[in-house]
Structure 1
Amino acid sequence: MPRIPATSPADLPDRAAILARTGLAFVEDMIAGRLPPPPIGVALGFAPTEAARGRAVFEGAARFDAMNPMGGVHGGWYGAILDSCMGCAVMTDLAQGEMYTTLDFSVNITRALPLGIPVRAVGEVQHRGRSTAVARGELRGRDDDRLYATGTTTCLVMRPEEG
Structure 2
Amino acid sequence: MGNFIAQSMDDLPTREQMLAMSGLEFMQGVLDGTVSGPPIGPTLNYWLDVVEEGRVVFRGAPTFETMNPMGTVHGGWYGTLLDSCMACAIMTVVPKGAFYTTLEYKINITRGIPLGMEIVAEGLVQHAGRSTGVANGEIRGAEDGKLYATGSTTCMIMRP
Q: What TM-score range do you get, normalising by the shorter chain?
A: over 0.9
TM score, norm. by length of structure 2: 0.95
Structure 2 match to 1:98: 98
Deviation of 1:113 (Å) = 0.6
Q: Distance in 2 between matches of 1:70 and 1:157?
A: 38
Structure 1 match to 2:72: 72
Deviation of 1:90 (Å) = 0.2
Pair 1:14-2:40 in alignment: no
Q: Distance in 1 between matches of 2:53 and 2:60?
A: 22
Deviation of 1:153 (Å) = 0.1
Any gaps of 5 or more consecutive residues in structure 1?
none
Quick check: 2:4–2:36 contact (8 Å CA) kept in 1? no
| Residues 101 and 13 of structure 1, relative CA distance in 2, 3 Å threshold | same
Quick check: 1:4–1:47 contact (8 Å CA) kept in 2? no
SS across alignment from 2:49: strand
Equivalent residue letter for 1:142: A
Quick check: 2:2–2:32 contact (8 Å CA) kept in 1? no
Deviation of 1:4 (Å) = 7.9
Q: Distance in 2 between matches of 1:47 and 1:158?
A: 26
Quick check: 2:2–2:36 contact (8 Å CA) kept in 1? no
SS across alignment from 2:100: strand
Structure 1 match to 2:50: 50
Question: How large is the RMSD of aligned CA atoms in angstroms?
Answer: 1.6
**Aligned residue pairs: how many?**
160
TM score, norm. by length of structure 1: 0.94
Quick check: 2:2–2:30 contact (8 Å CA) kept in 1? no
Deviation of 1:2 (Å) = 7.7
CA deviations over 1:79-106 (Å, ceiling 9, x no partner): 0010000000000001101100000000
Equivalent residue letter for 1:13: P
Structure 1 match to 2:60: 60
Identity %: 53
Any gaps of 5 or more consecutive residues in structure 2?
none
Q: Distance in 1 between matches of 2:48 and 2:19?
A: 20
Quick check: 2:56–2:122 contact (8 Å CA) kept in 1? yes
